[in-house]
């Protein structure tokens, strides 16, 4: 073989080439020329051709040197630039499409199959639950099939878990896409305030918002009210997330109130008036008379 250990050796190198042959009295013979030319042909054929017409037949050893000036990879079998990896080109899905609970997206280059460990990031399109209960949401990448998108504990997501325009990051575990970040955010809602007890002259909603992360729901309400009857109550009858949906019980883990005005009396009760842990309707009781401004924060957790 003309190549050995990374060095090319011509066929009559051992005798000193043609000059050596002449000094040894070896004449110019066709057989020796053929051997030499065949060695040249073999050696050349073992070299890579810069136009790609003679590809490698085994792993290439760069000898500890960098491969530079590589074009950006566009196929799954291409080499990639450091820039493409650093910029997250291969995990970026852009903005998701589809319906609120059945999203679609495309990776580039296109995936050929799902594989455990695949990570993707995307801008949430209409990825908001339209229902108040836990709902199955799916993501279909490159038409490979819809896979459930769940919390880390494999539970379905609920209204308020996602906000359109936020970034979602998921990892495929071999069965489903699991959310690895918090793509939630505060969402506005308009509470309905009733006065089941006492007399309320007026109420004004200053702020009402909520968010849901995993199994925890946080509600914040800021309102002013003018009560004319002692023992008056304000009750919210339309919480944005169903906190007592079938099969899922939520309990209040934390409630905080800040009251400005007089009197500054207020506390929670539920719609049955007996157990604070039964937390679907939210009520503020015995606010007394006068103008009161209240800011409430409620934290619920699924149990």
136-148: pLDDT as tens digits: 889 999 999 999 9
Give the DSSP H or E segment for 84: helix 82-86
**Distance between CA 187 and CA 58 in Å, rounded?**
57
List, as one string, the DSSP characters of 13-45: GGGTHHHHHHHTT----HHHHHHHHHHHHHHHH
**Cα(240)–Cα(73) distance, rounded to whole angstroms?**
46
Residue 257 and residue 295 in contact, taking contact as beta carbons nearer than 8 Å: yes
- DSSP code for 198: S
Interatomic CA distance for residues 237 and 213, integer angstroms: 22
| Global pTM exceeds 0.75 | no
Mean pLDDT of 60-73: 91
* Per-residue pLDDT at 192 exceeds 90: no
31-39 CB contacts, 8 Å cutoff, 24+ apart = 35/11, 36/10, 36/11, 36/12, 38/11, 39/2, 39/10, 39/11
Most confident of 17-31, 115-129, 243-257: 115-129
Q: Which residues contact 68 (CB under 8 A, 6 or more apart)?
A: none
CB 44 within 8 A of CB 50: no
- pLDDT at position 94 is 96
DSSP symbols for 39-74 = HHHHHHHTSPPTTSSS--SS----TT----SPPPP-
Average pLDDT, the chain: 77
User: At 38, phi and psi to the nearest 5?
Assistant: -65, -35
pLDDT at 203: 85
Identify whether 263 is preceded by a cis peptide bond (ω within 30 of 0).
yes
Where does the pLDDT of residue 287 fall: very low under 50, low under 70, confident under 90, or very high at 90 and above? low
Mean pLDDT over residues 172-180, rounded?
95
Query: In angstroms, rounded to a whole number, what is the distance separating the alpha carbons of residues 112 and 144?
Result: 8
Which of 26-30, 110-114, 156-160 has maximum average pLDDT? Answer: 110-114
Is the pLDDT score of 272 beyond 70?
no
Strand pairing partners for 234? 284
What b/e readout covers 159-172, taking b as 16+ CB neighbours within 10 angstroms?
A: bbbbbbeeebbbbb
Which of 31-40, 69-78, 221-230, 237-246 has the weakest average pLDDT? 237-246
The most confident of the ranges 60-64, 129-133, 234-238, 242-246 is 60-64
Q: Tell me: pLDDT of 79 over 80.
A: yes
């Amino acid at each position: 073989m003309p190549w050995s250990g990374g060095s090319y050796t011509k066929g009559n190198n051992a005798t000193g080439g043609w000059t050596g042959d002449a000094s040894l009295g070896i004449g110019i013979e066709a057989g020796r020329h053929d051997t030499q030319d065949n060695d040249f042909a073999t050696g050349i054929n073992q070299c890579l051709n810069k136009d790609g017409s003679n590809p490698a037949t085994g792993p290439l050893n760069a000898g500890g040197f960098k491969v530079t000036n590589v074009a950006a990879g566009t196929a799954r079998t291409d080499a990639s630039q450091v820039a493409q990896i650093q910029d997250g080109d291969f995990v970026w899905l852009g903005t998701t499409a589809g319906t609120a609970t059945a999203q679609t997206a495309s990776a580039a280059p296109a995936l050929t199959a799902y594989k455990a460990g695949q990570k993707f990031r995307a801008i949430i399109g209409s990825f908001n639950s339209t229902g108040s209960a836990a709902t199955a949401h799916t993501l279909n990448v490159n038409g490979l099939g819809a896979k459930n998108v769940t919390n880390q504990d494999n539970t379905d997501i609920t209204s308020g878990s996602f906000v359109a325009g936020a970034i979602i990051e998921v990892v495929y575990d071999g069965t489903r896409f699991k959310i690895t970040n918090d793509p939630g955010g505060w969402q506005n809602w308009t509470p309905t305030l009733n006065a089941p007890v006492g007399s309320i002259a007026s109420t004004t909603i200053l702020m009402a918002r909520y968010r849901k992360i995993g199994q925890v729901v946080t509600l914040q309400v800021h309102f002013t009210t003018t009560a004319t009857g002692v023992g008056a109550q304000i009750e919210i009858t339309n919480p944005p997330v169903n906190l007592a949906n079938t099969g899922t019980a939520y309990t209040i883990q934390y409630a905080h109130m800040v009251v400005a005005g007089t009197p500054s009396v207020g506390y929670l009760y539920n719609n049955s008036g007996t157990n604070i842990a039964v937390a679907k309707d939210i009520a503020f009781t015995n606010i007394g008379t006068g103008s009161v401004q209240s800011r409430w924060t409620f934290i619920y957790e699924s149990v």
